[in-house]
């Protein structure tokens, strides 16, 4: 059974930083691309970033490029999202998710199969 558990969210001031973690179990983590997606109040879920299984190639939605960094530790079955220079529009529930293959095909939610329960990130002064 696939298990994905996010942590690290909270309240942060604009310009601040947060590091999200996703602990995984129940599947061969090192074979799957992994992603972070988010859903803001009243908005549809959107893809934020994806990292491939093999070479660690990373992809980002335009609004977070240069500010967010996705990474993975295959030895620990962990996924991370380092978020810097946070803006109020980054406020959302953040989810980690498994891609269907080892390659990042796209950032749309339909490219991801299993999801965690999410962790709230609120950017506000």
| CA atoms of 81 and 97, how far apart (whole Å) | 12
Cβ-contact 66, 58 below 8 angstroms: no
pLDDT over threshold 90, residue 14: yes
Which pLDDT belongs to residue 18?
Answer: 98
Which pLDDT belongs to residue 11?
Answer: 97
Mean local confidence (pLDDT), 5-16: 97
Which pLDDT belongs to residue 93?
Answer: 98
Q: What is the pLDDT of residues 38-95, one digit of tens each?
A: 999 999 999 999 999 988 899 999 999 999 999 999 999 999 999 999 999 999 999 9
Cβ-contact 86, 96 below 8 angstroms: no
């Amino acid at each position: 059974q696939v298990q994905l558990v996010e942590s690290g969210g909270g309240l942060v001031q604009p310009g601040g930083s947060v590091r999200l973690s996703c602990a995984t179990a129940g599947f061969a983590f090192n074979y799957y691309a992994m992603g972070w997606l988010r859903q803001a109040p009243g908005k549809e879920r959107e893809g934020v970033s994806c990292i491939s299984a093999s070479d660690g190639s990373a992809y980002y939605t335009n609004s977070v490029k240069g500010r967010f960094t996705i990474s993975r530790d295959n030895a620990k079955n962990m996924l991370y999202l380092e978020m810097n220079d946070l803006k109020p529009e980054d406020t959302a529930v953040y989810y980690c998710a498994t891609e269907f293959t080892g390659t990042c095909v796209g950032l749309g939610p339909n490219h991801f199969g299993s999801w965690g329960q999410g962790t709230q990130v609120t950017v506000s002064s």
